[in-house]
Amino acid sequence: MTSMRHEGLLLLFRNRPTLAAELLRDALGVGLPDWSEARVESAELTEVVPTEYRADLVVLLWEGRPVFAIVVEVQLSRDDAKRGSWPLYLTSLRSRVSCPTALLVVTPDAAVARWCAQPIELGHPGFVLRPLVAGPEAIPVLTDAKEAKGAPELAVLSAMAHGHGEMGQTIAQAVMGAVVGLEAERVRLYVDLAVASLNEAARHALEELMRSGTYEYQSEFARRYVAQGLEEGLQKGLQKGLQKGRQEGEKVALLEVLDARGLKVDAVARQRILECTRSDQLKRWLRKAVTVRSVQELFARGPVSKPAPRGDSKRGRGKSPRGA
């Protein structure tokens, strides 16, 4: 399922089709032909491949006719199946538009960028696809307000790639100035993407700066929305942290109960417990742990067996036989 972060990145390229060409030319040093217009084209690649093959985005550079085509792929994690489809995207699009075609992979994660950049050997001698990857090392750190204003989408992309670093707050402030004059929906999206990319310390610093009144947002909408968004973001972050803390406590309690009852927890069962992220499931396991006779029974569905009766002084009590 596509995430909001994935869709947000794609919207940057939809809203500014020239962004793909700018990254290829300025960040990756790819020579491009002269062009006067960039258009977002259909990403359906149905001519020579099945309909389930769909690129994230296709941008065509025009000079009276298509002169260069760019397949834009947003990659947030490793996906071998996706890498296997990239050659299909290129050859299909090349066949459709009859002009040079390149693959641009965009990712804000350095480790994913290194993985994406690995050559794809196709078997035919000399036929090797080397993806062009715009990762954090290639995406500029955009802190200049004037430059950000001229390229707000690039400013947001910079925040997503570098927001967790030392310059995160400064980049986010550049985004705040860059969104002035944009329609409300784009402002919300761009501010959301920028603020969500900050680490906790940078978010708090930005909030304090906003509350202090020493930083003047350039529009009433941005000022009001940033205040609301930061507050909601911090609350959600706090709630998420508390929820995670409760889950960790439930896991520890569950393992303690099983250990106290002398039930052996093997590596597989322990991993299953530690990787569980559902509070309702952890609570069910914790309740069952008091009565189950084995860890396997803990994970089984259905009613729980009652515990075996404990031996005590009452066992065997009753009427004494005559003559005892």
- Please give the Cα distance from 119 to 304 (Å, whole number): 54
User: Is 140 part of a structural domain of the chain?
Assistant: no
- For 10, 108, 154, 231, the CA distances from 186, given in Å and listed in that order, are 13, 20, 14, 20
What was the pLDDT predicted at 318? 43
What is the average per-residue pLDDT within 58-83? 92
Domain-terminating residue out of 134, 157, 192: 134
- Same structural domain for residues 83 and 10? yes
- Same structural domain for residues 69 and 189? no
The structure's pTM equals 0.63
What is the average per-residue pLDDT within 68-90? 91
Find where tokens 């940078």 sit: 202
> Which pLDDT tens digit goes with each residue over 270-314?
888 888 888 888 888 888 888 888 888 888 875 544 544 444 444
Which of 130-134, 192-196, 260-264, 281-285 is the most confident on average?
Answer: 130-134
Q: At residue 1, does pLDDT exceed 50? A: no
Instruction: Write a three-state SS string for the chain.
Output: CCCHHHHHHHHHHHHCCHHHHHHHHHHCCCCCCCCCEEEEECCECCCCCCCCCECCEEEEEECCCEEEEEEEEECCCCCHHHHHHHHHHHHHHHHHHCCCEEEEEECCCHHHHHHHCCCEECCCCCCEECCEEECCCCCCCCCCHHHHHHCHHHHHHHHHHHCCCCCHHHHHHHHHHHCCCCCHHHHHHHHHHHHHCCCHHHHHHHHHHHHHCCCCCCCHHHHHHHHHHHHHHHHHHHHHHHHHHHHHHHHHHHHHHHHHCCCCCCHHHHHHHHHCCCHHHHHHHHHHCCCCCCHHHHHCCCCCCCCCCCCCCCCCCCCCCCCC
Q: At residue 42, does pLDDT exceed 60? A: yes
- Which of the residue ranges 36-45, 142-151, 170-179 would you say has the lowest mean pLDDT? 36-45
What was the pLDDT predicted at 276? 87
User: Is 323 part of a structural domain of the chain?
Assistant: no
- Please give the Cα distance from 204 to 305 (Å, whole number): 51
What is the average per-residue pLDDT within 59-85? 92
What is the average per-residue pLDDT within 66-77? 93
- Which of the residue ranges 21-30, 82-91, 197-206, 244-253 would you say has the lowest mean pLDDT? 244-253
- Same structural domain for residues 247 and 194? no
- Which of the residue ranges 113-117, 136-140, 211-215, 315-319 would you say has the lowest mean pLDDT? 315-319
**What domain count does the chain have?**
3
**% residues pLDDT > 70 (the chain):** 77
What was the pLDDT predicted at 230? 55
pLDDT bucket at 107, cuts 50 / 70 / 90: very high
Domain-terminating residue out of 134, 164, 182: 134
The residue count for the chain: 324
What was the pLDDT predicted at 211? 62
- Same structural domain for residues 212 and 96? no
Q: At residue 102, does pLDDT exceed 60? A: yes
Look at 42 and 143; give whichever has higher pLDDT: 143
What was the pLDDT predicted at 245? 60
What was the pLDDT predicted at 236? 54
Burial track 267-284 (b if 16+ CB lie within 10 A, e otherwise): eebeeebeeeeeeeebee
Average pLDDT, the chain: 80
User: Which structural domain, as residue segments, surrounds residue 176?
Assistant: 145-218
- Same structural domain for residues 15 and 118? yes
- Same structural domain for residues 178 and 63? no
What was the pLDDT predicted at 116? 95
N- to C-terminal Cα separation, the chain: 76
- Same structural domain for residues 106 and 160? no
Q: At residue 192, does pLDDT exceed 60? A: yes
User: Is 139 part of a structural domain of the chain?
Assistant: no
- Same structural domain for residues 162 and 46? no
Domain-terminating residue out of 69, 102, 134: 134
User: Is 321 part of a structural domain of the chain?
Assistant: no
User: Is 310 part of a structural domain of the chain?
Assistant: no
What was the pLDDT predicted at 35? 94
Q: At residue 244, does pLDDT exceed 80? A: no
User: Is 228 part of a structural domain of the chain?
Assistant: no
